[in-house]
Amino acid sequence: MNYFTLDGLEVPFEEGDTLMSAARREGHYVPHLCWHPRLGQSGACRVCTVKVNGRLAAACTTRASADQMVENRTTELDAKRRLLLQMLFVEGNHFCPGCEKSGDCLLQATAYEMGMTGPRFEEFYPDRPLDASHPDTWIDFDRCILCKLCVRASTEIDHKNVFAIGGHGIDTHLVVDSPSGKLVDSRFSADDFAAGVCPVGAILPKRRGFVIPIHERRFDRAPVAEESWLENDASTRESTDDTGGHDEGA
Amino acid sequence: MRAPDPAAQKPVAPDNAASKPRIATVSLAGCFGCHMSLLDIDERLFTLFDIVEFDRSPLTDIKHCAACDVGLIEGGLCNAENVHVLREFRARCKVVVAVGACAINGGLPAQRNALDIGQILLDVYQHRPGLATGSSVPNDPELPLPLARVHAIHDVVHIDHFLPGCPPSADAIWAFLTTLLADGAPKLGRENLHYD
């Protein structure tokens, strides 16, 4: 078995592993937003940036090889991650007190883990129209962090290609594949893997928003760094698992 | 040589206000929820009053800051008076803290930022069903003018520390204040760090 070291600990890996997949299998936390164990690599968010033999690299796209010295949770790297998160926060409309995903949100939980208390930059306050056309699912494009998890889920697992990323630079945005551009006219279904994979509050189920009260949710119970591999693998939102029969929310 | 000030010859009382850190607080474009959360520290308020002196604050009704050690700002900036008050706090407080979601990123009031403020005023004061005939947008010179967009306070002045939450819990406020007063380095602890 080959090993690399992660913050001084030996991590075994198999041929073809990335640093992220090997580390997660061993239960080590490498901060990330756009990585998912069931989906292909993306390297979109850069939050998993580590130092490999002194050079910065995304853990989710870097192949593991023997004798790599990988730095992960150092003060320096966490500060860089905090900066990335602060940029993501001001780019979207991440007003946590008004978001159904709060407490269950990987962006928020990762920001807690990185010790982010404030925004640092000026807010963009984007104003993109909601898509509430679908009977079971709605999309708030102001919260999309362009991680491409829904794009990959819809392509690789659902085989529907419902989502894509369009535009360039500051105008980059999530698009829906349908004649009208609306979710209701696409092949999307609430049973799709893509329906439950959004790490933030951009793609949300309707009528489930407050089934679990604020401050009793997934990342209120345990910090993201302490979640086990298996919990992380179960990508579904807890709020969709628990059938409370309530009718609040969107 | 000047005659000694009689007041200065008094024995120093244990609660001598001059020796305590002075704290000023204000709610700008907020809902006073953060101030309610401050009151929620309950009996610890007695300890707080022992170790600090409150200056300008809704709790004291003092209208302007003296020189203070800490300024706690609740709420963002939605009108010209908010900006004026914030600048007074920055000028007179050594340490300025953004308390709560609205101070930190504009919060709920900033959800109007996608709308035109002139149109909002017309919709609310002139075109809304049920208004008295001849109703118009209030235009008293004493009313501070609304800003076109709501801003977080760090858009305008330097902020030393952020205390997130909507509102930050009483425990968060207590942990933050006691560590800030102890060594100038506030520590919240993971359990007290919430944005909601």
What's the rounded mean pLDDT across residues A127-136? 96
Residue B30 C-beta-side C-alpha neighbours within 13 Å: 30
Cα separation, B15 vs A203, in Å, equals 56
**Beta strands at B161-163 and B93-99: parallel, antiparallel or unpaired:** parallel
Interface check B195 vs A, CB under 8 A: yes
CA distance A194 to chain B (A): 26
Cα separation, A33 vs A47, in Å, equals 7
**Residue of B155, B164, B193 with shortest CB distance to A122:** B155
The pLDDT value recorded for residue B124 is 95
Q: Are A108 and B195 within 8 A, CB to CB? A: yes
Say whether both A40 and A152 belong to one domain.
no
Tens digits of residue pLDDT in A58-74: 999 999 999 899 999 99
CA distance A34 to chain B (A): 21
CATH number assigned to the domain comprising residue A93: 3.30.70.20
**Beta strands at A173-176 and A69-71: parallel, antiparallel or unpaired:** unpaired
In the listed set A40, A73, A106, which residue is the last one of a domain according to the structure?
A: A73
- In a domain, residue A238? The reply is no
Residue A43 has pLDDT above 70, yes or no: yes
**Residue of A102, A117, A122 with shortest CB distance to B196:** A102
- In a domain, residue B159? The reply is yes
- In a domain, residue A184? The reply is yes
Q: Which residues of B touch A90 (CB under 8 A)?
A: 105
CA distance to A163, A197, A234, per residue, from A158 (Å): 11, 12, 16
Contact in structure between B151 and A121 (CB atoms under 8 Å) = no
Tens digits of residue pLDDT in A167-193: 999 899 999 999 999 999 999 999 999
Residue A210 has pLDDT above 60, yes or no: yes
Q: Which residues of A touch B101 (CB under 8 A)?
A: 95-97
CATH number assigned to the domain comprising residue B164: 3.40.50.700
Tens digits of residue pLDDT in B146-193: 999 999 999 999 999 999 999 999 999 999 999 999 999 999 999 999
Q: Are A89 and B190 within 8 A, CB to CB? A: no
- The pLDDT-based confidence of A1 (bands split at 50, 70, 90) is confident
The pLDDT value recorded for residue A227 is 77
The pLDDT value recorded for residue A249 is 34
What's the rounded mean pLDDT across residues B33-60? 96
Amino acid in position B47: T
Say whether both A96 and A191 belong to one domain.
yes
Tens digits of residue pLDDT in A219-237: 999 999 987 644 444 444 3
Cα separation, A238 vs B3, in Å, equals 74
CATH number assigned to the domain comprising residue A35: 3.10.20.740
CA distance B195 to chain A (A): 6
Residue B2 has pLDDT above 70, yes or no: no
Q: Are B166 and A122 within 8 A, CB to CB? A: no
Residue carrying structure tokens 């999530």: A174
Q: Which residues of A touch B162 (CB under 8 A)?
A: 117-119
**Tokens encoding A32:** 């990330």
Cα separation, A42 vs A146, in Å, equals 11
ipTM of the complex: 0.88
Q: Are B193 and A112 within 8 A, CB to CB? A: yes
The pLDDT value recorded for residue B19 is 85
CA distance to B74, B86, B189, per residue, from B38 (Å): 11, 19, 17
Contact in structure between B92 and B66 (CB atoms under 8 Å) = yes
Contact in structure between A3 and A20 (CB atoms under 8 Å) = no
CA distance to A71, A137, A153, A192, B109, per residue, from A160 (Å): 38, 16, 9, 9, 39
Average pLDDT score over chain A: 91
Q: Which residues of A touch B180 (CB under 8 A)?
A: none
**Residue of B106, B111, B164 with shortest CB distance to A117:** B164
**Beta strands at B77-79 and A49-52: parallel, antiparallel or unpaired:** unpaired
Q: A103 Cβ partners below 8 Å, 6+ apart?
A: A212, A214, A215, A216, A217, A218, A219, A220, B196
B149, B159, B192, B196: best mutation site toward chain A, by most A Cβ within 10 Å? Answer: B196
**Residue of B113, B152, B196 with shortest CB distance to A119:** B152
Interface check B155 vs A, CB under 8 A: yes
Interface check B34 vs A, CB under 8 A: no
Cα separation, A227 vs A242, in Å, equals 19
Q: Are A123 and B105 within 8 A, CB to CB? A: yes
- In a domain, residue A241? The reply is no
- In a domain, residue A171? The reply is yes
Cα separation, B83 vs B145, in Å, equals 11
Q: Are A95 and B154 within 8 A, CB to CB? A: no
CA distance A51 to chain B (A): 26
Residue A241 has pLDDT above 90, yes or no: no
Contact in structure between A23 and A11 (CB atoms under 8 Å) = yes
Q: Which residues of B touch A99 (CB under 8 A)?
A: 196
Q: Are A223 and B101 within 8 A, CB to CB? A: no
Q: Number of structural domains, chain A? A: 2
**Residue of B107, B161, B196 with shortest CB distance to A214:** B196
Interface check B119 vs A, CB under 8 A: no
CA distance A118 to chain B (A): 5
Tens digits of residue pLDDT in A112-125: 999 999 999 999 99
Say whether both A65 and A26 belong to one domain.
yes
- In a domain, residue B128? The reply is no
Q: Number of structural domains, chain B? A: 1
Contact in structure between B57 and B28 (CB atoms under 8 Å) = no
Interface check B112 vs A, CB under 8 A: no
Give the range of the structural domain holding residue A38, as residue numbers without chain letter: 2-73
Percentage of chain A surpassing pLDDT 90?
87
Residue B96 has pLDDT above 50, yes or no: yes
Strand partners, A58: A49
**Closest C-alpha among B111, B109, B110, B41 to residue B72:** B41
The pLDDT value recorded for residue B18 is 67
Say whether both A126 and A15 belong to one domain.
no
Contact in structure between B103 and B58 (CB atoms under 8 Å) = no
Its pTM stands at: 0.90
Cα separation, B102 vs B109, in Å, equals 7
3-state DSSP percent of chain B in helix, strand and coil, to 5: 40, 20, 45
